Structure 1
Amino acid sequence: MVQVWLALLGLMLTFGLMLAAQGAWRRSASRTVAAGSRSPAPASAAPAAHAADALPAIDGSTGTVALPALPIPPGAVLTDSGVSAARPFLWGPANAIDRARAMQCLTAAIYYEANGESIDGQRAVAQVVLNRARHPAFPGTVCGVVYQGVERAHCQFSFVCDGALARAPAVSGWARAARIAAAALSGGVFAPVGLATHYHTFAVAPPWNRAMVMTDMVGAHLFHRWKGYWGTAAAMNRTYRGGEVLPSLPVAGGTPAAASEMPVANALPVPPLPTASASPAAAPAPRDTRNTPPPVSASGAVISERLARSGEILDKWKDSGRPIERPDGPRPAMPGAAPVTDQRR
């Protein structure tokens, strides 16, 4: 019996030594990787290619892209500083076409990504789009951000590639999204989400959320920004230059269609920006009723002109409201009434 216990004790000691050695090896490997990740990128490094194409947007989340392999400026703050509000959007050298297209693309993103959200939830989605337009890891236009990856079927916003654009938008929901887009493009900032460039719903857990800093929860969405320098306001220093382009979008049947041909563009008008002066509506011209034909009822019969005029009663209805005569007595005479006879009608 003693020999059996000694054998078991020896096996337990051997197993413990193996686990300790394995843990020490893992800690050494992690320190080596961490030390390598702190090495600065060379100044001549070009932006990373489409390394994140394997992670397109799934239902309820935005897609990810690779951080730019650009050198971090000397003296840049690399630590996280909590949540700071983004700067107001400025148009820069944008013409009327750029403004109209940016308005259309941002309205579509707000509507199809957050139509069921509150006003704050829709403002938060608009802020993410504008934050991306300033960041060097994303396109520099509003439409470029919204439709990024559509040519490779790796859309950054899921509504672009999942067939949502085939559904015509509701008038009331589209109008509300347009108002929120106009306010954001006119300089309105939704400060609670800060510098967030990503979001996802509670229903999904994308792998990138563990490598980012969550800035806020608004409605059904969780908003995130990058850690370190690439999640700071200093990294979002790109100025809007215009050049909005409406891309070709996939439609049912396999034939690409321009974004201006989608129902989101031609079914509902986009209101002007709040800063634009709206022309006053012309007063309606007075209606000439001298030669107007008499009105026609639903059955097609012409309504009498005397009946059409308010306050006048036809002769055959003048006795309405008079007490019904008793069958055993004479019908009382009323001034101005038709003569009464004993004949039953």
Structure 2
Amino acid sequence: MPFEIAGQSFPGSAFYYLDQPPQPVFDIDELRVAEGTLDAEKLTEKFGAGATARAFMSAGTGIDKARALKCLSMAVYYEAASESQSGQEAVAQVVLNRVAHPAYPSSICGVVFQGSERKTGCQFTFTCDGSLNRQPSRAGWARAQSVALAALSGNVFAPIGLATHYHTHAVNPYWASSLDLIGSIGAHRFYRWKGNAGRAAAFTNAYAGREPLALPNPREASPLPASAGAGTTDLFSPLPETGAPQVAEPRASTEAPRGGNAPLQSGDVKPEFRNSGRWIREPGAAKPATE
């Protein structure tokens, strides 16, 4: 968020940002009419989605609500900006369904950015494939934010019921056969868990309103490569006998000593400070006769 980024804010700027909560630019019902989208009741009958989700109950501080709105808007925009009104509402509903299911984080940003610390394995592809580097269009973002605001205000998109998964028609993920297909909207196919895990009684998570930062999770640390290249030392190469890590001994410098007037290089210590780390007198040693 702008007020959470160093260098782009000032103390107390969050109060100015949150003083006027965002308002929907587009009316959801008007968009449905304009697109000629099937109304939710008919679409629900067509899909046979079964039980529908409970209306989302907003909670938390103003900052938590702002983060929730941004994360849900990003999911709608980057996953479904080119989809119909129903397609965008369906994506928003999947995110909220996951928040309510104990198999997933209980925050909106936690659900959206789950697995984003990995190059592969993120739950929503846009969080780890570089899509966030693409600036949203103003009109597209306004529409996505309007959908997100409606969902966070209690609007339930009934046609997909309790769906927690979706994918595009262009792929066939390994998990698709293990779930119950609900139906397709635009480019996406929607699924729910099989058995009890997909029934309303399983959606027991209560939203507490504590939202993490609206950012991808930090990348996991990568192990050092086996060989760092010419002129460097592998600090963690295994010993042939034990496989234990060995720490490389520092190499003696092969450079000729420089004269007193030679410029200092990176890592050098000025002559007057070279003994600064030595004891003046070792602890317990006898005092010199002159003291």
The interval holding the TM-score normalised by the smaller chain is 0.5 to 0.7
Tell me how far 1:242 sits from its aligned partner.
Answer: 1.4
Match of 1:42?
none
Letter in 2 for 1:181: A
Partners of 2:207 and 2:150 in 1: how far apart?
17
Tell me how far 1:216 sits from its aligned partner.
Answer: 2.1
**2:118, 2:128 within 8 Å by CA — same for their partners in 1?**
no
Find runs of 4+ consecutive structure 1 residues off by over 4 angstroms. Answer: none
**2:67, 2:214 within 8 Å by CA — same for their partners in 1?**
no
Match of 1:146?
112
Asked whether 1:131 is paired with 2:101, we answer no
Asked whether 1:97 is paired with 2:60, we answer no
Partners of 1:86 and 1:244 in 2: how far apart?
21
Tell me how far 1:237 sits from its aligned partner.
Answer: 1.4
Match of 1:84?
51
Match of 2:182?
215
**2:52, 2:162 within 8 Å by CA — same for their partners in 1?**
yes
Tell me how far 1:82 sits from its aligned partner.
Answer: 5.2
> What secondary structure is seen at the aligned counterpart in 2 of 1:152?
coil
RMSD of aligned C-alpha atoms?
2.1
Deviation string 1:12-51 (CA, Å, 9 cap, x unpaired) is xxxxxxxxxxxxxxxxxxxxxxxxxxxxxxxxxxxxxxxx
Of 180, 193, 196 in structure 1, the residue corresponding to residue 163 of structure 2 is: 196
Partners of 1:249 and 1:86 in 2: how far apart?
27
Tell me how far 1:150 sits from its aligned partner.
Answer: 1.5
Tell me how far 1:152 sits from its aligned partner.
Answer: 3.2
Deviation string 1:238-279 (CA, Å, 9 cap, x unpaired) is 11101101165389xx9x9xxxxxxxxxxxxxxxxxxxxxxx
Partners of 2:182 and 2:59 in 1: how far apart?
28
> What secondary structure is seen at the aligned counterpart in 2 of 1:223?
strand
Asked whether 1:231 is paired with 2:211, we answer no
Of 172, 183, 195 in structure 2, the residue corresponding to residue 205 of structure 1 is: 172
Match of 1:270?
none
Tell me how far 1:151 sits from its aligned partner.
Answer: 2.1
Tell me how far 1:184 sits from its aligned partner.
Answer: 0.2
Deviation string 1:142-182 (CA, Å, 9 cap, x unpaired) is 00000001123321000011110001000000000000000
Tell me how far 1:221 sits from its aligned partner.
Answer: 0.4
Match of 1:164?
131
Deviation string 1:271-291 (CA, Å, 9 cap, x unpaired) is xxxxxxxxxxxxxxxxxxxxx
Partners of 1:82 and 1:199 in 2: how far apart?
14
Aligned residues: 173
Partners of 2:101 and 2:141 in 1: how far apart?
27
Instruction: Specify the structure having the higher radius of gyration (Cα).
Output: 1
Of 118, 140, 152 in structure 1, the residue corresponding to residue 84 of structure 2 is: 118
Letter in 2 for 1:91: S
Partners of 2:215 and 2:86 in 1: how far apart?
30
Partners of 1:98 and 1:247 in 2: how far apart?
10
Gaps of 5+ in 1: 1-80, 257-345
| Alignment of structure 1 residues 246-257 onto 2, 5 Å | 246=213, 248-249=215-216
Partners of 1:101 and 1:250 in 2: how far apart?
14
Query: Does the C-alpha gap of structure 1 residues 176 and 236 become closer, same or farther in structure 2, counting only changes over 3 Å?
Result: same
Letter in 1 for 2:84: S
Letter in 2 for 1:131: N
Letter in 2 for 1:196: A
Partners of 1:169 and 1:146 in 2: how far apart?
17
Partners of 2:106 and 2:52 in 1: how far apart?
20
Letter in 1 for 2:101: H
Tell me how far 1:92 sits from its aligned partner.
Answer: 3.7
Q: TM-score, normalised by structure 2?
A: 0.57
Partners of 1:214 and 1:150 in 2: how far apart?
26
Identity score, percent = 54
